[in-house]
């Protein structure tokens, strides 16, 4: 092997040993082995060099210096590299991007209730609340629903096992928000102008348009000289605010024990008419039940189905979607 080849081999082996050194101590050992002043490999080669001929010397000298520099530099770099603090491989890597949090949203029905409360508020109605567990008196008796009325059928209501416990008769999950009319009038002398939104319960068979729990908005306005045209105007304004200017409204004659006359309320928005609730002029018997004088005051009342209106506005075709809590569905609203 000539000296040039020896130097090549030296350089190769030194660089390999350097790259394999795993700590400062190993680097120092490599330095001694390859560059050591006394017994280092380069020292041996230097001694060989002196035996070379005059002609060979300049080339060999250059190659020698190059190998020396290359090895010295590689040692220096490896030392710096190993001197750096170890990269953390466990625990938290603070340089990784975080997990994005998606913003929560209110349920479409909650949004609908808020919106209706806001609309009614702007029209001058106060917002009231009533209990969801009601007694027979507020759910039926005071609303002029007689003892033998089919609306009281145990198959159409969720009566509670604590039946007869209260002095207002058996308890039940309220089947309508009309109960709030009574509770408010019991507490407040006329005039009253309120709405109330909330859950109502009926043991219906669940399908695309029925659920055993749904939401209503009740409205009540009692004052001197309140008429049916006030009722229609208010409902038209509420419908317009919620659905848009192109909504039409119509009344169809109907019957409710607590209103006389009574109507079904339909709204048209787009192609079809949709029945959205009931309404009418508060029956004198109801006014009497709460101590109002039907000769002095009159009033209108209405009850609207919130799911129906919400579904109409958003084009939801199945009420069950609202209660399955599927985030993929709910996050659209």
Residue 297 to residue 284: CA distance in whole angstroms: 9
| Residue whose C-alpha is closest to residue 256's, from 290, 301, 310, 320 | 301
Instruction: Find the binder of ligand DAH among 176, 196, 197, 211 (CB under 6 A).
Output: 176
Pairing of strands 248-256, 192-201: unpaired
Residue 277 to residue 213: CA distance in whole angstroms: 16
**Residue 48, CB-side half-sphere exposure with 13 Å CA sphere:** 14
Residue 257 to residue 86: CA distance in whole angstroms: 82
Supply 278's token pair. 């009931």
Given the rule CB under 6 A, which of 44-52, 87-95, 161-169, 296-304 is the region that contacts ligand DAH? 296-304
Residue 245 to residue 140: CA distance in whole angstroms: 37
> Which residue stretches of the chain are H helix?
3-20, 24-35, 41-49, 57-83, 108-122, 136-139, 179-187, 228-243, 284-289, 306-314, 327-330
Instruction: Find the binder of ligand DAH among 140, 242, 256, 269 (CB under 6 A).
Output: 256
Instruction: Find the binder of ligand DAH among 6, 196, 259, 298 (CB under 6 A).
Output: 259
Question: Which one, 11 or 197, has the nearer CB to ligand DAH?
Answer: 197
Q: Does 301 bind ligand DAH (CB under 6 A)?
A: yes
Q: Does 309 bind ligand DAH (CB under 6 A)?
A: no
Instruction: Find the binder of ligand DAH among 11, 144, 178, 298 (CB under 6 A).
Output: 178
Question: Which one, 243 or 265, has the nearer CB to ligand DAH?
Answer: 265
* Window 264-283: contact mask with ligand DAH (x via CB under 6 A): -------------xxxx---
119-122: list long-range contacts, CB under 8 Å, 24+ apart. Answer: 119/238, 119/241, 119/242, 120/195, 120/217, 120/219, 120/238, 122/241
CB of 163 to ligand DAH, least distance (A): 22
Residue 220 CB contacts under 8 Å (≥ 6 apart), including other chains: 180, 181, 184, 185, 192, 193, 194, 195, 282, 299, 300, 301
Three-class DSSP category at 207: strand
CB of 223 to ligand DAH, least distance (A): 16
Question: Which one, 20 or 233, has the nearer CB to ligand DAH?
Answer: 233
CB of 115 to ligand DAH, least distance (A): 20
* Window 23-62: contact mask with ligand DAH (x via CB under 6 A): ----------------------------------------
* Window 181-220: contact mask with ligand DAH (x via CB under 6 A): -------------------------------------x--
Question: Which one, 241 or 260, has the nearer CB to ligand DAH?
Answer: 260
- Give the sheet arrangement for strand 248-256, strand by strand: 126-127, 192-201, 213-223, 298-305, 273-282, 259-268, 248-256
Pairing of strands 133-135, 213-223: unpaired
Residues 213-242 that bind ligand DAH (CB under 6 A): 218
Question: Which one, 91 or 150, has the nearer CB to ligand DAH?
Answer: 150
Question: Which one, 275 or 318, has the nearer CB to ligand DAH?
Answer: 275
CB of 280 to ligand DAH, least distance (A): 4
Q: Does 302 bind ligand DAH (CB under 6 A)?
A: yes
Question: Which one, 151 or 247, has the nearer CB to ligand DAH?
Answer: 151
Q: Does 290 bind ligand DAH (CB under 6 A)?
A: no
Q: Does 299 bind ligand DAH (CB under 6 A)?
A: no
Residue 191 to residue 193: CA distance in whole angstroms: 7
Strand partners, 304: 217, 277
CB of 134 to ligand DAH, least distance (A): 12
Residues that bind ligand DAH (CB under 6 A): 176, 178, 218, 256, 259, 277-280, 301-303
């Amino acid at each position: 092997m000539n000296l040039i080849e020896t130097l090549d081999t030296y350089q190769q082996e030194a660089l390999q040993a350097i790259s394999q050194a795993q700590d400062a101590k190993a680097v120092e050992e490599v330095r001694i082995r390859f560059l050591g002043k006394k017994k280092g490999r380069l020292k041996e080669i230097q001694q060989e060099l002196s035996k070379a001929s005059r002609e060979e010397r300049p080339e060999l000298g250059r190659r020698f210096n190059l190998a020396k520099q290359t090895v010295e530099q590689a040692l220096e770099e490896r030392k710096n590299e190993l001197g750096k603090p170890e990269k953390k491989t466990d625990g938290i890597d603070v340089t990784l991007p975080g997990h994005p949090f998606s913003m929560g949203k209110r349920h479409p029905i909650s949004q609908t209730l808020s919106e209706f409360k806001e609309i009614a508020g702007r029209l001058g109605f106060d917002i009231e609340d009533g209990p969801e567990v009601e007694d027979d008196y507020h759910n039926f008796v005071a609303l002029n629903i007689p003892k033998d009325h089919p609306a009281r059928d145990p198959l159409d209501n969720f009566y509670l096992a604590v039946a007869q416990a209260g002095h207002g008769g058996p308890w039940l999950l309220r089947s309508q928000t009309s109960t709030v009319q009574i509770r408010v009038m019991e507490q407040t002398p006329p005039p009253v102008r309120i709405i109330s939104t909330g859950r109502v319960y009926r043991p219906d068979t669940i399908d695309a348009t029925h659920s055993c729990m749904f939401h209503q908005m009740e409205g009540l306005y009692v004052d001197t000289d309140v008429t049916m045209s006030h009722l229609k105007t208010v409902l038209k304004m509420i419908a317009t605010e919620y659905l848009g200017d192109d909504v039409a409204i119509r009344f169809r004659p109907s019957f409710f024990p607590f209103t006389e006359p009574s109507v079904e309320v339909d709204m048209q928005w787009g192609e079809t008419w949709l029945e959205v609730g009931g309404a009418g002029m508060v029956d004198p018997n109801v006014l009497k039940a709460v101590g109002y004088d039907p000769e002095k005051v009159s009033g209108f009342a209405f009850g609207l189905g919130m799911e129906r209106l919400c579904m109409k506005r958003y084009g939801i075709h199945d009420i069950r979607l609202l209660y399955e809590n599927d985030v993929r569905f709910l996050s659209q609203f």
